[in-house]
């Protein structure tokens, strides 16, 4: 008894640990084979708001809104949701709208969405289809001479790639010095060219006094029930501030004169993502697109561990978006897309051992068993699994995609950031920026690193509008004077001053 009293604290700790591990083990044995997420019926208002069908009236650019009742789980993988009567496709060159219409008659289907300039088609079937049946039809259509690729229209529950807001009392904005922002601004201030910068994120508070959100009336925070965003609405506002906030409160957006076009990317279909990106590139002449979002971490890490469903899903989405972007480039549109590398590392993803339950199949989950998880999971997930077009198979597209990792104040690669297929690292730890309701705060993540690169790219297009997207990426990567090492690989660290300076001297080939 005296022993127990003397060591009661140690005994209590051991007991808590044992109970926790036992609970996780029980959860594993009775793993839920479904993941419901939010009540999709709540999203009808959401879908109506973000529909391109009838909103942007143009016979050559429209997307039909999806309906909550049409969203189902894929039969073979509970991580994936799809629209049960819709497919999306990229047609081959010289195939006409009428050609596609005639072909679809054989499948009791019709065209419900169309973006002419990139050969994109949204296809609606008259019946609700199981995932297996829809997938088989898509593969059959893909094998025809009329299409480059046809896929189900997935319902994307994209998380934002950031850590929680951090109470960081010392307003030591190390990142401006780290990237030589003051040198970049001294050059940027000499030019008046306005550059349109796009971002896909959660909603941005366009009423923030420091932000210039060009399409705020269409995508405003206060016109949507923010409870649908899981309280993450500050994320988009924080990212926007890093890109183009006017100077105040010891912050300054890198490209503070840029016009920002913001689009929501949470809980929408793949067809909406396509419409958003095409609307920015084709219709709003956006030169830089910031995407501080990514696949669900469980998809990314499952792909890294060899889950065939996850790998196929990522690869197919990659091909689809790459074909669309390649078509935009053929039209003469120049742009860069800056994509967050993601935060799917072992230490960031598995803060709770039981957090992965409910996803994937037993073969993969067995590798994530609570008792060996830190041995079986990679320290750094390859960023190629973080998002579509993070590693494009089409060279001219890949040359315009910049995958951004994160570095901290001590010039070390941050623990939460994916590595592998990363092009450049930028400050991503304890970043101070705008929040909703004209407030300010700190956030960390590759989400915060990416807009530093996007802002730099916007400044480069400002000082030299004749640059190609490929040249912007090349300059950003080759002008870096410092690097950070992780997993025996050196990644360049953004030098905005050197990049903007080099942009002024770069001549078109």
What pLDDT, in 10s, does the model give residues 255-279? Answer: 999 989 888 777 778 998 998 899 8
* Closest to 48 in 3D by CA, of 244, 234, 223: 223
For residue 185, tell me if it sits in a domain. Answer: yes
pLDDT, average across residues 440-444: 88
Residues 124, 203: one domain? no
- In the predicted model, what is the mean pLDDT of residues 186-214? 86
Residues 236 and 266 in one domain: yes
In the predicted model, is pLDDT for residue 45 greater than 90?
no
17 part of a folded domain = no
Three-state secondary structure call for residue 427: strand
Q: Is the dihedral of CA 64, 124, 279, 201 positive or negative?
A: positive
Domain that holds residue 62: 40-156
Of 449, 451, 469, 447, which Cα lies nearest the Cα of 460? 469
pLDDT of residue 234: 80
Which one is predicted more confidently, 504 or 228? 504
Stretch 437-460: mean pLDDT: 93
- 191 with 103, same domain: the answer is no
The rounded distance, in Å, linking the Cα atoms of 9 and 487 is 39
Q: What is the DSSP letter of 295?
A: S
Q: pLDDT value at position 350?
A: 45
Measured CA to CA, the distance from residue 247 to residue 316 in angstroms comes to 42
| Conformation bin of residue 302: beta by default, left when phi > 0, alpha when psi is -120 to 50 | alpha
DSSP secondary structure string for all residues of 21-73: HHHHHHHHHT--S----S-GGGGHHHHHHT--TTTS--TTEE-PPP-GGGEEE
pLDDT mean across residues, the chain: 80
Q: What is the pLDDT of residue 381?
A: 81
Question: Which segment of 42-51, 293-302, 441-450, 462-471 scores lowest on mean pLDDT?
Answer: 42-51
Q: How far apart are the first and last CA of the chain?
A: 84
Distance, in Å, from the CA atom of 242 to the CA atom of 254, rounded to the nearest integer, reads 6
**Contacts with 106 (C-beta within 8 Å, 6 or more apart), sequence order:** none
Cβ partners under 8 Å of residue 447, min gap 6: 160, 161, 162, 235, 238, 239, 292, 293, 340, 428
- Look up the CATH number of the domain holding residue 459: 3.40.50.200
Longest CA–CA span in the chain (Å) reads 88
Q: Is 341 exposed, middle or buried (0-12, 13-18, 19+ CB in 10 A)?
A: buried
Residues 180 and 152 in one domain: no
Looking at 126, 156, 186, the residue that finishes a domain is 156
Name the region of 334 (left: φ>0; alpha: ψ -120 to 50; beta: rest).
beta
**What is residue 462's predicted lDDT score, i.e. its pLDDT?**
96
> By C-alpha distance, which of 307, 303, 274 is closest to 149?
274
Residue 7, pLDDT score = 61
Helices (H), 212-269: 233-244
Nearest Cα to Cα of residue 404 among 440, 455, 471, 441:
455
Q: Is 238 contained in some domain?
A: yes
pLDDT at 376 over 60: no
Q: 35 or 75, which is more confident?
A: 75
Under 8 Å between Cβ of 181 and 254: yes
Together in a domain, 477 and 398: yes
Residue scoring higher pLDDT (352 or 429):
429
Boundary of a domain, candidates 156, 186, 213: 156
Q: Are residues 268 and 398 in the same domain?
A: yes
- Shared domain check, 213 and 108: no
**304 pLDDT more than 60:** yes
Pair 183, 243 in one domain = yes
Residue 345 has pLDDT above 80, yes or no: no
Highest mean pLDDT among 20-34, 103-117, 231-245, 253-267: 103-117
- Name the pLDDT band for 438 (thresholds 50, 70, 90): confident
Q: With bands split at pLDDT 50, 70 and 90, how would you rate the model's confidence at 415?
A: confident
What total number of domains does the chain contain?
2
Residues 405 and 270 occupy one common structural domain:
yes
Confidence of residue 23 (pLDDT cuts 50, 70, 90): low
Residue-wise pLDDT tens digits, 69-115: 888 888 777 668 899 999 999 999 999 999 999 999 999 999 999 99
Asked if residue 310 is part of any domain, the answer here is no
Judge whether 303 lies within some domain. no
Q: What does the pLDDT average to over 414-420?
A: 88
Which pLDDT belongs to residue 52? Answer: 53
Given pLDDT bands bounded at 50, 70 and 90, which one contains residue 175? very high
Tell which wins on pLDDT, 430 or 163: 430
Q: Is the pLDDT of residue 443 over 70?
A: yes
Locate 362 and state its tokens: 């037993």
Phi, psi of 55 (to 5 degrees): -80, -50
Q: What is the mean pLDDT of residues 502-506?
A: 88
Q: Among residues of the chain, what percentage have pLDDT more than 70?
A: 73
How high is the pLDDT of residue 310?
Answer: 83
Which tens digits make up the pLDDT trace of 385-394? 888 888 899 9
**pLDDT at residue 150 greater than cutoff 90:** yes
- pTM confidence score: 0.86
Same domain flag for 128 and 231? no
454, 199 contact by CB (below 8 A): yes
Which residue carries 């529950």 as its tokens? 157
Please indicate, yes or no, if residue 183 is contained in any of the structural domains.
Answer: yes
**pLDDT at residue number 473:** 98
Instruction: Report in angstroms the alpha-carbon separations of 225 from 43, 45, 399.
Output: 10, 9, 38
Mean pLDDT score, 293-307: 77
Best-predicted range by mean pLDDT among 54-63, 72-81, 117-126, 204-213?
Answer: 117-126
| Residue showing tokens 């030591």 | 172
What average pLDDT does this structure show over 288-299? 85
Q: Look at residue 432 and tell me whether its pLDDT is greater than 60.
A: yes
Indicate the range of 83-97, 159-173, 338-352 predicted with least confidence. Answer: 159-173
Crossing angle of the two packed helices 446-463 and 496-505, in degrees rounded to 10: 30
Assigned domain for 449 exists? yes
**Are residue 116 and residue 185 in the same domain, yes or no?**
no
What H or E segment, with its residue span, contains residue 500?
helix 496-505
Final residue in a domain of this structure, among 88, 121, 156: 156
Mean of the pLDDT values across residues 412-435?
91
Alpha carbon separation from 416 to 305, 309, 445 (Å, rounded): 18, 25, 7
Give CA torsion, residues 88, 360, 160, 268, to 10 deg: 30
60 and 101 part of one domain: yes
Residue 249 has pLDDT above 80, yes or no: no
In this structure, is residue 223 part of a structural domain? yes
Beta bridge partners of 122: 88, 113
């Amino acid at each position: 008894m005296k022993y127990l009293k003397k060591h009661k604290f140690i005994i209590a700790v051991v007991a808590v640990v044992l109970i926790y591990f036992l609970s996780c083990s029980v959860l594993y044995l009775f793993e839920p084979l479904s993941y419901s997420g939010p009540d999709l019926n709540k999203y009808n208002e959401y879908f109506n708001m973000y529909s391109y069908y009838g909103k942007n009236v143009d016979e050559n650019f429209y997307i039909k809104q999806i309906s909550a009742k049409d969203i189902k789980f894929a039969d073979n993988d509970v991580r994936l949701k799809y629209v049960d009567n819709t497919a999306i496709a990229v047609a081959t060159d010289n195939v006409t709208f009428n050609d596609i219409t005639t072909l679809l008659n054989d499948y009791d289907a019709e065209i419900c969405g169309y973006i002419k300039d990139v050969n994109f088609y949204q296809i609606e079937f008259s019946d609700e289809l199981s995932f297996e049946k829809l997938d088989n039809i898509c593969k059959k259509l893909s094998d025809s001479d009329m299409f480059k690729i046809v896929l189900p229209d997935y319902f994307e529950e994209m998380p934002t790639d950031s850590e929680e807001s951090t109470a960081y009392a010392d307003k030591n904005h190390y990142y401006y010095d780290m990237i030589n922002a003051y040198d970049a601004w001294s050059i940027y201030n000499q030019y008046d060219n306005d550059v349109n910068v796009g971002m896909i994120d959660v909603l941005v508070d366009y009423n923030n006094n420091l932000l210039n959100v060009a399409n705020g009336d269409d995508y405003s925070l206060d016109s949507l029930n923010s409870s649908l965003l899981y309280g993450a609405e500050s994320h988009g506002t924080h990212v926007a501030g890093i890109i183009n906030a006017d100077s105040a409160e010891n912050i300054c957006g890198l490209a503070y004169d840029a016009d920002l076009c913001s689009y929501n990317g949470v809980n929408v279909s793949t067809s909406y993502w396509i419409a958003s990106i095409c609307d920015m590139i084709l219709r709003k002449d956006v030169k830089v697109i910031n995407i501080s979002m990514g696949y669900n971490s469980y998809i990314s890490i499952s792909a890294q561990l060899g889950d065939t469903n996850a790998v196929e899903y990522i690869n197919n989405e990659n091909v689809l978006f790459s074909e669309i972007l390649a078509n935009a480039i053929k039209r003469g549109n120049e742009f860069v897309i800056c994509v967050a590398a993601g935060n799917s590392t072992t230490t960031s993803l598995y803060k709770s051992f039981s957090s992965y339950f409910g996803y994937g199949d037993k073969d993969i989950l067995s590798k994530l068993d609570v008792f060996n998880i830190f041995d079986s999971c990679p320290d750094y997930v390859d960023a190629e699994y973080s998002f579509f077009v993070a590693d494009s198979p089409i060279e001219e597209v890949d040359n315009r995609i910049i995958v951004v990792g994160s570095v901290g104040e001590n010039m070390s690669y941050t623990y939460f950031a994916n590595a592998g297929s990363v092009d450049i690292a930028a400050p991503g730890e304890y970043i101070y920026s705008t929040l909703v309701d004209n407030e300010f705060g700190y956030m960390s993540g590759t989400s915060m690193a990416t807009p530093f690169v996007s802002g730099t790219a916007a400044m480069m297009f400002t000082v030299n509008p004749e640059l190609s997207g490929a040249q912007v990426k090349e300059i950003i990567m080759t002008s870096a004077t410092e690097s950070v090492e992780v997993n025996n690989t050196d990644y360049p660290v953004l030098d905005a001053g050197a990049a903007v300076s080099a942009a002024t001297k770069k001549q078109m080939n």
